[in-house]
Amino acid sequence: MPPVKVAATFAIVVVGLILLRWIAAVTVSPAAPAAARSSSAAEDLPAVRANTPLAPTAEPTEDIDTLAAYDEAMRLGRESLLDDDIETAHDLYFLAVQALPGDPEAEARLRQSETVLDIDDRTSDWREALDDVEDLMALAPRSPTIGLAYTEALVGAGQEALAQGNAVRAQRLCGEASQRAPIRNDARLCVTRASGTATVLLRGTPGAAVQLAPTNTPLPAPAPTLQPVTSPTVTATPQPPTLEPTQTPQATQADASSGGPPLPQASPTPVADRP
């Protein structure tokens, strides 16, 4: 909504309030006429009866005018958020605060819209900034300006949490910012640092369970554990030595009858003693 439209709307509201005051003043009846004067000379004239004065119409109070202006400013402010016109919404919420000072809703909307407009220049208090942008995004979830401010607040709050030693929160916030804006290197770098810090804390504290942010990467299935197979022990049983067959007496006698020298008798040699 351009500033000209805001000024015109505000002028219409003011003119309407003035018109209501004027109408209320006109509808008040004039004062009652004085009583008819009696004339001693004209006793035959009919007596004039004074009219009963009418009760004046109640004039609109300033409270009614203030509430009407407050409601109109809040309504137009929300419409400006839906139109992604954050500057006009900020101006309208400022008028609502002026119409009804101390109203918590008007003050909150004014602060939240100011946070979105100044998100690029912010350097601290990122947790409060993230809460303000989240509340304002609930009113206009499709606003591109509020969406960019929300991503910026996620990165800032994640880096702030990492500096404070809260690696789990930093990984969660920066991980969401990286999903919303994959091209942002600062968001991915924040996730990497937060993951490394959480791993170091997990190794340095025995028995400490660190809850890391869930990822979409499936975990590998555990390999089956192989059970050792024991082979049976074989015990060697000693075998008795096998003797070679010796020459029979018949062969010895035949050699003697042939006239040759007698052959020596071979002694039995165990098989186990062979080379």
Digit-by-digit pLDDT tens for the chain (275 residues) are 566 566 666 666 666 666 556 555 555 444 444 444 444 444 544 554 555 555 555 455 667 788 888 999 999 999 999 999 999 999 999 999 999 999 999 999 999 999 999 999 999 999 999 999 999 999 999 999 999 999 999 999 999 999 999 999 999 999 999 999 999 999 999 999 988 886 665 555 555 444 444 444 444 455 555 555 555 554 555 555 555 554 444 444 444 444 545 545 545 555 444 44
pLDDT of res. 65: 82
Are residues 75 and 108 in contact, defined by beta-carbon separation less than 8 angstroms? Answer: no
**CA pair distance 73, 90, nearest whole angstrom:** 10
Sign of CA dihedral 170, 173, 176, 182: negative
Where do the H-state alpha helices sit in 164-270? 167-180, 185-204, 249-257
Count H helices, E strands: the chain? 9, 0
pLDDT of res. 10: 65
pLDDT of res. 19: 57
Q: Which amino acid is at 251?
A: A
Token pair for 47: 């007596």
pLDDT of res. 53: 54
Token pair for 144: 């591109």
pLDDT of res. 6: 60
Token pair for 206: 């025995």
Token pair for 101: 């000072």
**CA pair distance 119, 139, nearest whole angstrom:** 18
Are residues 151 and 174 in contact, defined by beta-carbon separation less than 8 angstroms? Answer: no
Instruction: Judge if pTM exceeds 0.75.
Output: no
